[in-house]
Amino acid sequence: MRPAAVVFDNDGLLLDTEDAWTRAETVLFERHGGTFTMEHKRDMIGSSHAVAAGKLERMLGLPGEGFALMAELHDLVMEEALREVAPRPGAEALVAALRDAGIPVAVASNSPRDFLDRVLAGSGMAGRFAVTVAGDEVEHPKPAPDVYLAACRALGADPAASVALEDSPTGAAAAKAAGMTVIGVPYLPDMEIPPADLVAGSLADALVREACGLLPSFS
């Protein structure tokens, strides 16, 4: 069935920005006497600004310093984002096919506007979406549904008739709370995404194309 709209998460789903975040997080931990591990990464993926601040306090043993740590991390990741950021496998082809089919596309991200704009521009994907919504533009970031509801509202699309693409449980919970059909494409291969209606290995999978209302033959 043709969806009213398709809304993409950004970090780790549309664009491979997680490497930039990992480099920034590694530097942050080193500055504060810690070592950034894969378990830390798993815990941080999809977290909102406020939630990530609390996690950093706990991980680094710095109570009350969470928002200062997040400000420091923001500066680090903005610097990392100046490097080229590549689209995830299948992302460019999927977005192009949806646009060719006349299906509205948007981005709904937990990241702040300045970071979102920088990485979309650096990846060459800026201008391909009718709407982009950043986490600092809504009252409640993911796992609340606000970013997805805002994207659908701006597109004039019914969330219940729209599809969301997500790489984390937090983001999938947000899209599900908005009433959308959720396709999970985990950034970490062994990460489970319980709220998702279906899970695929990449954006190039036939399952994703069909769930987005595209013919299996598109490439």
User: Minimal CA–CA distance to 17: which of 143, 108, 120?
Assistant: 120
Identify whether residues 92 and 186 lie together within a single domain: yes
Work out the pLDDT band at 8, boundaries 50, 70, 90.
very high
Domain end: 80, 109, 126, which one? 80
Q: What is the pTM of this model?
A: 0.87
Question: Mean of the pLDDT values across residues 23-40?
Answer: 96
CB 202 within 8 A of CB 185: yes
Q: What is the mean pLDDT of the chain?
A: 94
Q: What's the sign of the alpha-carbon dihedral 79, 83, 87, 92?
A: positive
> 49 lies in a domain?
yes
Give the CATH number, domain containing residue 98.
3.40.50.1000
**Which of 47, 80, 113 corresponds to the end of one domain?**
80
The 10s digit of each residue's pLDDT in 144-189 is: 999 999 999 999 999 999 999 999 999 999 999 999 999 999 998 8
Catalytic positions: 9, 11
Domain count within the chain: 2
The pLDDT assigned to 46 comes to: 80
d(CA 93, CA 74): 30
pLDDT of residue 216: 61
Kindly report, residue by residue over 37-75, the tens digit of the pLDDT. Answer: 999 998 998 888 999 999 999 999 999 999 999 999 999
pLDDT digit string, tens, across residues 96-143: 999 999 999 999 999 999 999 999 999 999 999 999 999 999 999 999
Spacing of C-alpha 15 from chain mean position: 8
